Amino acid sequence: MPNNSHEHPEEKMPQSRIATALREYGNKAAFAPMFADRVQRRINAAPANNPAMQALTPLDALAQELVWMFRRVAIVGTSLVVLLAGYNLYTNDDVSFDAVFGLPNEAHSLSVESVLMPD
Amino acid sequence: MSNFQRQQLFSTSKHLHDHISDNDLVAAVLRGETQAFAGIVRRYERPIAATITGMLGRTEEVEEIGQQVFIRFYEALPNFRGDASVKTYLTRIAINLSLNELKRRKRRFSLFRSVDDALELPSEADDHAESSADRELIEQALKRIPAGMREVVVLRLVNGYSTEETATMLNIPEGTVLSRLSLARKQLQTLLKPFFGEEYAK
């Protein structure tokens, strides 16, 4: 139980009904039976939160950090693609699927042969 | 000791956990023996229940916040360095979650009416169930004192922690604990005097 050995002399409270009632209030406070089991069930239901899993080797921790970092980059990247695609569609009315995602368009690409040997 | 033996040791028997130190239980959980965590929960569920109940009253949120306290501690175990005791960590989490809940209640009820206005002390204590009536009065009175004083009263007088322990748990100087406690006692006496009588409310 709590340690009362360091009680300050200035704060000694008379054994009044209030003090007794406060202490009794604390003594009567309790969770419903089987509380520990309910906590354990919730912990087991989310194994990703297992601290043993979190206490990984530095290499595993680095891998997890990279995954987390690229997840953020992926969100930013996807947002940029959507914005650029929207901008291209807005300015050019009709934009090919390849162009939207910055892929080379074969119809407009120049080959060595076409430059050296024009029709 | 084999893993099987450890599993047996940290199985559902709470009596076995009684003889194991907090640090050993934490180490066992970090090794992956999640059942060992039940030992920590059983050891501290009573004081944590008293802390949350003292802060919030006997409401339906107490169970959920109690579970959250232990789950948050469980999730934070890899960062547990042992510079403060398990009891201190758990109590800090319990106080913080309780304060969050009080803020949430304040936001929710401020649109309609003050939380304090919704509370009324019983008009008279029932002589046949004096103890139960006292607890009801105490709960109503605790709800009427500011949260900063309430946390001190809950830890120091409801849970019975020392001034030093209370100061450590709340991360405030001992002098602040004493001054808040003095103010809180005066407010409690004022609130409870009509029910407990002048000579008993001191």
pLDDT tens for each residue of B65-101 = 999 999 999 999 988 888 889 999 999 999 999 999 9
Is residue B114's pLDDT more than 60? no
Q: Under a CB-based contact definition with an 8 Å cutoff, are residues B17 and B38 in contact?
A: yes
State the DSSP string of B68-136: HHHHHHHHHGGG--SSS-HHHHHHHHHHHHHHHHHHHHHHHHHTT--TGGG----SS--GGGHHHHHHH
Put simply, the answer to whether B31 touches A52 (Cβ < 8 Å) is: yes
Parent domain of A77: 10-116
With beta carbons under 8 A apart, name residues in chain B contacting A16. Answer: 196, 200-202
- Residue B63 contacts A, CB cutoff 8 Å: yes
Report yes or no on A102 lying in a domain.
yes
**Between residues B9 and B44, which one has the greater pLDDT?**
B44
Put simply, the answer to whether B163 touches A11 (Cβ < 8 Å) is: yes
Report yes or no on A1 lying in a domain.
no
ipTM over 0.90: no
**Between residues B33 and B62, which one has the greater pLDDT?**
B62
Using alpha carbons, list the distances in angstroms from residue B66 to A69, B126, B170.
33, 31, 18
Least CB-CB distance to A11: which of B32, B138, B178?
Answer: B178
- Using the 8-state DSSP alphabet, how is residue A109 labeled? P
**Between residues B126 and B105, which one has the greater pLDDT?**
B105
- Using the 8-state DSSP alphabet, how is residue B154 labeled? I
The pLDDT value recorded for residue B34 is 83
The pLDDT value recorded for residue A81 is 82
Q: Under a CB-based contact definition with an 8 Å cutoff, are residues A41 and B35 in contact?
A: no
- Residue B29 contacts A, CB cutoff 8 Å: yes
Total Cβ atoms within 10 A of residue A15: 9
Q: Under a CB-based contact definition with an 8 Å cutoff, are residues A13 and B44 in contact?
A: no
In chain A, the number of structural domains is 1
- Scored b (16 or more CB within 10 A) or e, B6-28 reads beebbeeeeeebeebebeebbbb
Report yes or no on A3 lying in a domain.
no
- Using the 8-state DSSP alphabet, how is residue B40 labeled? H
State the DSSP string of A7-60: --GGGPPP--HHHHHHHHHHHH--PPTTHHHHHHHHHHH-GGG-HHHHS--HHH
- Between CA A87 and CA A90 the distance in angstroms is 5
Q: Under a CB-based contact definition with an 8 Å cutoff, are residues B69 and B89 in contact?
A: no
Report yes or no on A2 lying in a domain.
no
Put simply, the answer to whether A21 touches B138 (Cβ < 8 Å) is: yes
Q: Per-residue pLDDT averaged across A44-59, rounded?
A: 66
- Between CA B60 and CA A25 the distance in angstroms is 17
Percent of chain A with pLDDT over 90: 16
Q: Per-residue pLDDT averaged across B168-180, rounded?
A: 95
Mutate to test the interface with B, among A25, A37, A54, A60 (most CBs of B within 10 A): A25
- Between CA A114 and CA A111 the distance in angstroms is 5
- Residue B38 contacts A, CB cutoff 8 Å: yes
- Residue B195 contacts A, CB cutoff 8 Å: no
Using alpha carbons, list the distances in angstroms from residue B56 to B28, B100, B141.
33, 11, 12
- Using the 8-state DSSP alphabet, how is residue A107 labeled? T
Report yes or no on A47 lying in a domain.
yes
* Closest residue in chain A to residue B69, using alpha carbons only: A39
| Structural domains of chain B, with CATH | 13-115 (1.10.1740.10), 119-202 (1.10.10.10)
Report yes or no on A63 lying in a domain.
yes
Total Cβ atoms within 10 A of residue B46: 17
Give the pLDDT confidence of A55-96 residue by residue, as tens digits: 566 777 677 777 777 777 888 888 888 888 888 777 776 666
Q: Per-residue pLDDT averaged across A15-27, rounded?
A: 85
